[in-house]
Chains A and B, each alone.
Chain A
Amino acid sequence: EAEVAQSPRYKITEKSQAVAFWCDPISGHATLYWYRQILGQGPELLVQFQDESVVDDSQLPKDRFSAERLKGVDSTLKIQPAELGDSAMYLCASSPFRDRSYGYTFGSGTRLTVV
């Protein structure tokens, strides 16, 4: 069964350092999402790509977060500088549908701990 690949699975970084996460969606899925999930909460959307274009980054803290999907396939989410409050699970999801009301396939996530 096709999966959304994410790496690394776990990341520990010091405050003020830069950190990056990688996501490879299911082949052929044009829509890609990055979510942040704080422990005990539901996921919150950070950014949505349609192919290589950002279609929604309204909840992305742009002063420190950036995301790219240069060739419309895999994607990178970066945080610089990391803050203690960024500790969370970062989830990538993809969908073959442009309409974002349909179900997504999620990766296993990257657990970030900022110390």
Chain B
Amino acid sequence: SQQGEEDPQALSIQEGENATMNCSYKTSINNLQWYRQNSGRGLVHLILIRSNEREKHSGRLRVTLDTSKKSSSLLITASRAADTASYFCATAFMNRDDKIIFGKGTRLHILP
């Protein structure tokens, strides 16, 4: 499958700690996106990083992209209970009409 694969599948951390999720993919991409999904709800677009970018920040979120390793990471600093959700990476592959493909997600649980 060409979809991105998130790691770990599930993660539980204490409130206030940092959470790191990873995404790996197999073929060249135009960009990579991260989405959040609260239980039973739709997805919320968090951040898009282009293939020529290495790092982007948005509030408490930091995304890195290493195209040589075909991997990305999402760091959430100073986690809060409201960060409990599933996080998906979505990759826009080259030569596939820019269709974005979602991974299976990382389920993050913030413990009080």
Contacts and interface: CB of A to CB of B under 8 A. Distances in A.
Interface of A: 4, 6, 40-45, 56, 89, 91, 93, 99-109, 111
Nearest to B5: A42
B19 to A, nearest CB: 19
Contact of A42 (B41, B42, B104): B104
A81 B8 CA distance: 37
Given A101-B92, A105-B45, A109-B41, 5 more contacts: A44-B102, A56-B99, A91-B42, A104-B45, A111-B40
A29 to B, nearest CB: 13
A102 B48 contact: yes
Interface residues of B, number: 24
B92 to A, nearest CB: 4
Which secondary structure dominates chain A's binding surface?
loop
B33 A103 contact: yes
Which secondary structure dominates chain B's binding surface?
strand
Interface of B: 3, 30-31, 33, 35, 40-45, 48, 88, 90, 92, 97-105
A44 B103 CA distance: 9
21 contacts: A6-B42, A40-B104, A41-B105, A42-B3, A42-B90, A42-B102, A42-B104, A43-B88, A89-B40, A91-B42, A93-B43, A99-B98, A100-B97, A100-B100, A101-B100, A103-B33, A103-B45, A106-B35, A108-B42, A109-B40, A109-B41
